[in-house]
Amino acid sequence: MINTKTNKKLGIYIDYTNAYLMELIGKNIVSRNIEFESGKTDKEATRINKSDSTETKTEYHLQTAYYLEISEIIRNYNQVVLFGPADVKNNLYTQLEFDHDFDHIKIQNINTDKMTQNQIHDFVKEYYN
């Protein structure tokens, strides 16, 4: 479990199905995964059928809950880097930018290619060093 009280640097690799949270503790990483609860595949998640308002509302509420869960963790850090290939990180970043509760947190949003778990860990270590 991530200890959000004593450590202040967090990396989040995020896409439409998972947010991989990595807390940097010295030179080590403690990680946690938050899954987006949706029955859709990655491709389906990027294009919701606008004619089905029930599906759109349900997907919106699920996405809001996903962002809220991540946001609650972010509020305990001084520095956060959001990264990954998906636009979902941009949506989360925009939401955090407009919420003044996050003004005291340095949040960086970086586009990257799809990465392996080792590449993700290396990215966070290099970013904060």
> Phi/psi class of residue 26: alpha, beta or left (left: φ > 0; alpha: ψ in -120 to 50)?
left
104 phi and psi, to 5 degrees? -85, -5
Rounded to the nearest 10°, the torsion over CA 66, 96, 73, 34 is: 30
Question: Domain 9-128: which topology?
Answer: Nucleotidyltransferase; domain 5 (3.30.420)
> Taking the domains of the chain in order of start, what are their residue ranges?
9-128
Q: What is the pairing mode between strands 18-25 and 79-84?
A: unpaired
pTM exceeds 0.85 for this model: no
- Kindly report, residue by residue over 76-123, the tens digit of the pLDDT: 999 999 999 888 899 999 999 999 999 999 999 999 999 999 999 999
Per the prediction, the chain carries an average pLDDT of: 84
Beta-bridge mates of residue 33:
20
How much is the average pLDDT of 42-49? 49
pLDDT given for residue 129 in this prediction? 87
Mean predicted confidence (pLDDT) in 62-75: 90
